[in-house]
Amino acid sequence: MANMQEIARIAGVSLGTVSHVLNNTAKVSEPKRARVLEAVQAAGYQPSQLARGLRRDTTNMIGMVIPDITNPFFPAVVRGAEDVAFSNGYRLILCNTDNDHSKEIMHLNELRTYLPAGLIVIPSNFSDLTTQAESYRRAGSGVVCIDRLPRNWSGDSVTADNEAGAYDATRHLIQLGHTKLATITGPLHLTNAMDRLGGFKRAVKEAKLHLFPEYVQETTFDKQGGHAKTLILLRLIPRPTAIFAGNDMIALGALLAVREAGLRCPEEISIMGFDDLDLAETTNPSLSSVAQPGYQLGTTAAQILLDRRDGDTSPAKHIVLETLLHLRNSVAPPSEETNGNSSAKSRRGSKQK
Ligand code: RIB
């Protein structure tokens, strides 16, 4: 493979001139510059990012640590970060933690040794990442946490308005006439799962509905969890007439469990998701869901890092992105049969018995 000496020989210039052209470190006459670039092209020369990074004490890499690469929500977030990074000459290096905090710490510690330009983290849980972030800052790299936040996080962050999204979705179910509302939350050690439960409870409380403790089930953010917890909810008496799922994967598991139990959605039970994944349109029935801007979470985080890199020293940014309720076919007013004897409308806002 060609090296810089080879380029200098082909172009008939000094090694220093080649270095100045490639690193843009000094003005080089246009004819010489053109000869160097032609030689680079002809020899297929690719400068070593590693060597360049060591010289400058930083590379053009942005590290990104995500909790679950198999969850269809996260690719859009990564894509957003990658698009902004790539179009600004940076490259993304991706690590998956499997929601495992020790793996997360290992990735954070190791990534730092690659001298990244910055780091984007979707934390695996509520553990404090202040020490790790501090060591990045000392090395001159920014850290942005997105989607969920670690304990005591005071650095840059980008999240969706999880509380408001959950509130809107629950309020919609209540406006349809549901009074027996259940929720299957994500892991409650995650801030987004906690906030979504907070929004659900706020809407239920505002409507003066009673919330049975068993109507709140906690699980992991996946289909298996949604399936198992829905089977529990379906055995309760009175059976809930609507389920607000903490994310779309939980909602998919809920749809499956409802079908297996021989019930019809939405006629006998409504199901609402959160995320609005592409697949929400393709389920049967199609899934109503709270859309959160995954792509924008990624683009915003990457842009913050690049701004910091360009010298933005303003106080920590805490950006909260809006959600939007996407109504499809998985929610409907409760039938008289499932909701009790009197009409759904007359019970709106009343207490559950
Ligand atoms: O689907 C994965 C869930 O976990 C999403 O709702 C997202 O917010 C993430 O934290």
Residue extent(s) of CATH 1.10.260.40 domains in the chain:
4-47
Beta strand pairing call for 181-185 and 142-146: unpaired
- The band of 313, judged by pLDDT with boundaries at 50, 70 and 90, is very high
Distance CA 132, CA 146 (A): 16
Residue with token string 């869901």: 289
Supply the pLDDT for residue 349. 32
Residue with token string 């842009």: 303
**Ligand 1 mean position, distance from CA 73 (Å):** 6
Distance CA 280, CA 213 (A): 28
Nearest to 77 by CA among 144, 137, 132, 131: 144
Supply the pLDDT for residue 66. 97
pLDDT greater than 70 at residue 343: no
Question: Does the domain formed by 162-292+326-351 have CATH 1.10.760.10?
Answer: no
- From the CA of 274, give the closest atom in ligand 1: 6
The DSSP call for residue 352 is P
Token pair in block for residue 332: 């409907």
C-beta of 195 in contact with ligand 1 (< 6 A):
no
For the packed helices 15-23 and 30-43, what is the interaxial angle rounded to 10 degrees?
A: 90
Nearest to 161 by CA among 318, 283, 25, 28: 318
User: What is the CATH class of 4-47?
Assistant: mainly alpha
C-beta of 249 in contact with ligand 1 (< 6 A):
yes
Residue 210 three-state SS: coil
Q: To which H or E segment does residue 93 belong?
A: strand 91-96
Distance CA 18, CA 5 (A): 8
Question: Does the domain formed by 57-160+294-322 have CATH 3.40.50.2300?
Answer: yes
Residue 62 three-state SS: strand
C-beta of 275 in contact with ligand 1 (< 6 A):
yes
**Ligand 1 mean position, distance from CA 248 (Å):** 9
| pLDDT (tens digit per residue) in 120-132 | 999 998 889 999 9
**Ligand 1 mean position, distance from CA 41 (Å):** 44
Supply the pLDDT for residue 345. 36
Where is average pLDDT lowest: 185-194, 241-250, 330-339?
Answer: 330-339
The residues, any chain, with a CB within 8 Å of residue 32's CB and separated by 6 or more, are 11, 13, 17, 21
Supply the pLDDT for residue 43. 87
**Ligand 1 mean position, distance from CA 181 (Å):** 21
pLDDT greater than 70 at residue 341: no
Structural contact between residues 88 and 310, judged by C-beta atoms closer than 8 angstroms: no
Residue extent(s) of CATH 3.40.50.2300 domains in the chain:
57-160+294-322, 162-292+326-351
From 68, 69, 70, 73, the mutation candidate for ligand 1 (largest count of ligand atoms within 8 A of CB) is 73
The DSSP call for residue 257 is H
Residue nearest to atom 4 of ligand 1 (CA): 221
C-beta of 76 in contact with ligand 1 (< 6 A):
no
CA atoms within 13 A on the CB side of 217: 27
pLDDT greater than 90 at residue 296: yes
pLDDT greater than 80 at residue 183: yes
| pLDDT (tens digit per residue) in 42-84 | 888 787 777 776 676 778 999 999 999 999 999 999 999 999 9
Residue nearest to atom 10 of ligand 1 (CA): 147
- From the CA of 247, give the closest atom in ligand 1: 6
